[in-house]
Amino acid sequence: MNYETLKVAIGDDRVGVITMNRPEARNAMNTTMMGELRDCFAGFYVDPDTAACLILTGEGAGFCSGADLKERKGMTDATWRRQHAIVEQMVRALMDCPIPVIAAVNGAAYGGGMELALGCDFIYAAQSARFALTEVTLGILPGAAGTQNLPRAVGVRRAKEVILGGAPFSAEQGVAWGMINKVCPDGELMAEARTTARRIADNAPVSVRQAKKAIEKATELDRFSGYAFELEAYYRTVTTEDRQEGINAFNEKRKPQYKGR
């Protein structure tokens, strides 16, 4: 996993940290970063056993300030559309990732940066973090699933206020609205995110991946159809070695040793 704009490190605890690495541009996404994020998450889709939980964060004092507007200056319509096709693939790869992804927002998450955080499974944020969907102030609108993921997180009325106004808001506001799971002191953000990631990584991988799929259907299907999907996901775990290991470890009063099969 050698990238120009990303740093990817997977530890012995099977927690992977993906760091957007353009601190000189507040980790703004140029075309290269968009493509590398797409390829990175697509790779985890192809080989989900590579890691058991992922953390997405930014290098330096910022998470991601959105698309690199300097690169977009003077961009033709055709080039813009081509670049945005990469964004669309990137967002789908992130949301399709079978491995849980925690956004550890360590600074400004504006525009596409906030949409990246929303595309993750949940968000931890530093106290100094700031968020905004500023697209309408630039003559466009959110195009990385912001109009879809934000209403699911905060409700339609709050999402309209945020998207149509384009004003920034704090991490504390994000928690109050239900968008952010936890606000951490700036120096403790990654430690808190890693603690939760390790807790997830300690669980049975197939169970975690199947549960993630089932949860995502809760807002997409009616309740009984969602329950039918849950049961399909549930029965996928019944025949695994990990299911037997979990029961044995419980009865033997020891920590289970899951193998992902």
CATH number of the domain within which 153 lies: 3.90.226.10
Q: Which of 16, 51, 107, 115 is catalytic?
A: 115
d(CA 175, CA 171): 6
Band (207; pLDDT cuts 50, 70, 90) = very high
- Average pLDDT in the 4-23 region? 98
Q: Which of 135, 159, 204, 214 is catalytic?
A: 135
Dump pLDDT digits (tens) for 77-106.
Answer: 999 999 999 999 999 999 999 999 999 999
The answer to whether residues 24 and 98 belong to one domain is yes
Closest CA to 147 of 80, 58, 158: 158
Q: Is residue 260 part of a domain?
A: no
- Is 40 in contact with 34 (CB distance < 8 Å)? no
Q: Is the pLDDT of residue 177 over 80?
A: yes
CATH number of the domain within which 209 lies: 1.10.12
Where b means 16+ CB within 10 Å and e means fewer, 51-78 reads bbbbbbbbbbebbbbbbbeebeeeeeee
Domain end marker among 182, 201, 220: 201
Let me know how long the chain is.
261
Dump pLDDT digits (tens) for 14-65.
Answer: 999 999 999 999 999 999 999 999 999 999 999 999 999 999 999 999 999 9
93 is an active site residue: no
Q: Which residue has the tokens 């206020």?
A: 161
pLDDT at 232: 95
Domain of 246 in residue numbering reads as: 205-251
pLDDT at 246: 96
In this prediction, what percent of the chain has a pLDDT beyond 70?
A: 100
The answer to whether residues 177 and 236 belong to one domain is no
For the chain, the domain total comes to 2
Band (1; pLDDT cuts 50, 70, 90) = confident
21 by DSSP, 3-state: which? coil
Q: Which of 25, 67, 129, 197 is catalytic?
A: 67
Q: List C-alpha distances in Å: 82 to 55, 76, 88.
A: 28, 10, 10
The answer to whether residues 185 and 236 belong to one domain is no
The answer to whether residues 185 and 228 belong to one domain is no
The answer to whether residues 105 and 194 belong to one domain is yes
The answer to whether residues 90 and 196 belong to one domain is yes
The answer to whether residues 116 and 154 belong to one domain is yes
The answer to whether residues 164 and 214 belong to one domain is no
Q: Is residue 259 part of a domain?
A: no
The answer to whether residues 224 and 194 belong to one domain is no
In order, the DSSP letters of 112-145 are: HHHHHHHHSSEEEEETT-EEE--GGGGTS---SS
Closest CA to 115 of 185, 42, 34, 52: 34
User: Which ranges constitute the DSSP H helices of the chain?
Assistant: 31-46, 69-72, 77-96, 112-119, 146-154, 156-165, 171-177, 189-201, 205-216, 223-238, 241-251
Reported as half-sphere exposure (CB side, CA atoms, 13 A), residue 83 has a value of 18
The answer to whether residues 158 and 185 belong to one domain is yes
pTM above 0.75, yes or no: yes
Band (230; pLDDT cuts 50, 70, 90) = very high
The answer to whether residues 152 and 236 belong to one domain is no
112 is an active site residue: yes
In this prediction, what percent of the chain has a pLDDT beyond 90?
A: 99
Give the chain's mean pLDDT.
97
The answer to whether residues 114 and 132 belong to one domain is yes
**Tokens at 40, concatenated:** 């990175």
Q: Which of 112, 113, 119, 146 is catalytic?
A: 112
232 is an active site residue: no
